[in-house]
Amino acid sequence: MIVLGISCYYHDSGAALVKDGQLIAAAEEERFNRKKHDSGFPALAIEYCLREAGVTIDDVDHIGFYEKPLVKFNRILETILAGWPGTLKPWLKAMPLWLGHRLHIGREIQKHLNTDKDILYCQHHLSHAASAFLVSPFDEAAIITADGVGEWTTSSWGMGRGNTIEMQKELRFPHSVGLLFSAITAYLGFRINDAEWKVMGLAPYGKPSYVDKFREIVDIKDDGSIRLDLQYFAHHHSTTRTISGRWSKLFGEPQRNPETELTDFHRDIAHSGQKIVEEIMLKTATHVHRVTGSDNVCIAGGVGLNCVANWRIFQESGFKNIFIQPAAGDSGGALGTAFYIYNTVLGNPRTFRMDHALWGPSFSNEEIKSTLEGVGAAYEVVNDEQDLLQRTAQMIADGKVVGWFQGRLEFGPRALGSRSLLADARSNKMKDVINAKVKFREAFRPFAPAIIKERAHEYFEMPEGMEAPYMLLVPMVRPEKREVIPATTHEDGTGRVQTVTEEQNGRYYRLIKRFGELTGVPVVINTSFNVRGEPIVCTPRDAYNTFVKTGIDVLVIGDYVVTQKAGDVDYDAGMRRSVALESESVVKSGVATQ
């Protein structure tokens, strides 16, 4: 039995393939076509999934789409008509798009795949719920979903038992914690559906000066449900704006223009807005725990990537165990749809547990060598793994930034040790070096610490043996360790930790362990192998291209080590290019047409 799940036409399109209850492959389209947050049909991701499974579309038994287009169109139509005639422009923009092909997504999918197989549709938030629970380690668990908006639902909660899911309550558009956070993101001059984690990164530098102001625009109930004061928002009647002019009047400053200076005001807005979002999610989780009585909770949806809120839920809501799969946003809808069809619709028992995020393509040493020779790279082959690990660990200890390309590509927005940039967490200066000369991004952006799991409790205030494999939890760094790993200790003393095991991460684990033996500190910086405005690298050619145009010192790719570049790196040109790429990949902020 083969099931193909598809998510697309909003942002972060992707595909996932399940065969006989096991996940075979899952990937985002952006990794293949190099268009960050691409929303188009995931033809390349689907092609990869089929190839990885060794099948064709004719072998697929069921094809599922992650939401219900007719229900979504109903919401868009009602939203536009409710604001008429002020919504004429959204009408003119939305109708050709929807009447042209989005109302006929089934036929569009069939056309793209050259098949006449029926297309099955799963509700958007049910896809999220399934993506979390059906691949979790729990036989039963409470489920919480939260994002901008699906069809009508913006957040929901329910219970999963065995292979069944029963969602019990929902919040509906236009009241949405995800859209509230998008409004904060837009007000701070960042791109929505992409830069929300910039708000999280900026928040620790500010103060809760505007929490009371935020309470004027959002009413938070004890159960975590909310009502937005819509006079401050525009998402319910505009395709180009998220906030109204009243927002700026309330807070006393105009919306920040992108790439301009960040002031204490912006830092305080980020801090206050993040606190409000944490309060909403914590109240929701506390209520759900009280009602369900479950010890376990699964979280999905874009807000599930808010790792600070996740940690507070784990610490304060009453749940003992928490699971968030690595592609909690829209691309994960493909995963959820595939498993919902296989397990819940078809009634097959659950036999799969997601223990890692490595579901994308891998490349053999022969393919890597061919690429390096094709671009004229000077390389050294190191066939002995112990030698490779020793040399790489020493280079990191010596202050080098290492491009680390090994095994299968990660699924989801985080690089987790297969397509990563690695550096020394002990170095005070390393954060600034990577931001300025490698990532070409804002100086306030934090870096994640990767640590072998058995030592994590020594460095972070988390239970011994606890897993945090996907960088979705943010515990405090123990006070006595903050000066030991300053490069990965954020302004508020936290760290977006990744715990690493040999079973899940293989060579990456062995490298960090060797670095710990060499230095006494089993922690490295792990950040994604890309530059601002580009997706994480997928292929050896992507990796080499990023290596030569940035300040990465060494590329360790398979069994090959590349240390020389052709010519000098023009960092200013790299910065200009990365900003241009980011500008080109702007995610449209409208909601009415989506």
Residues labelled as active-site residues: 11
Answer yes or no: are the C-beta atoms of 428 and 487 closer than 8 Å: yes
Asked if 357 contacts 411 with a C-beta cutoff of 8 angstroms, the reply is yes
DSSP secondary structure, 342-403, as one string: IIIIS-PPP-------B-S----HHHHHHHHHHTT--EEE---HHHHHHHHHHHHHTT--EE
Between the alpha carbon of residue 380 and those of residues 394, 406, 553, the distances in Å are 16, 16, 15
Read off the amino acid at residue 558: G
Backbone dihedral angles phi then psi of residue 462, each to the nearest 5 degrees? -140, 155
Burial annotation 434-472 (CB, 10 A radius, 16+ → b, else e): bbebbbbbeebbbbbbbbbbebbbebbbbeeebbbbbbb
What whole-number distance in Å separates Cα of residue 284 and Cα of residue 156? Answer: 9
412 dihedral zone (left: phi>0; alpha: psi -120 to 50; beta): left
> What's the CA gap between 196 and 181, in Å, rounded?
7
From CA 410, how far away is CA 220, in angstroms rounded? Answer: 36
421: Cα separation from own chain's centroid:
17
Q: Find the helix packing angle between 365-374 and 540-548, rounded to 10°.
A: 40
Bridging pattern class, strands 62-65 and 153-161: unpaired
Please tell me what DSSP assigns to residue 124: H
What is the Cβ-side half-sphere exposure of residue 106, based on CA atoms within 13 angstroms?
Answer: 11
Q: Give the integer Cα–Cα distance in Å for 344 and 350.
A: 9
Backbone angles phi, psi at 24, to 5 degrees: -100, -40
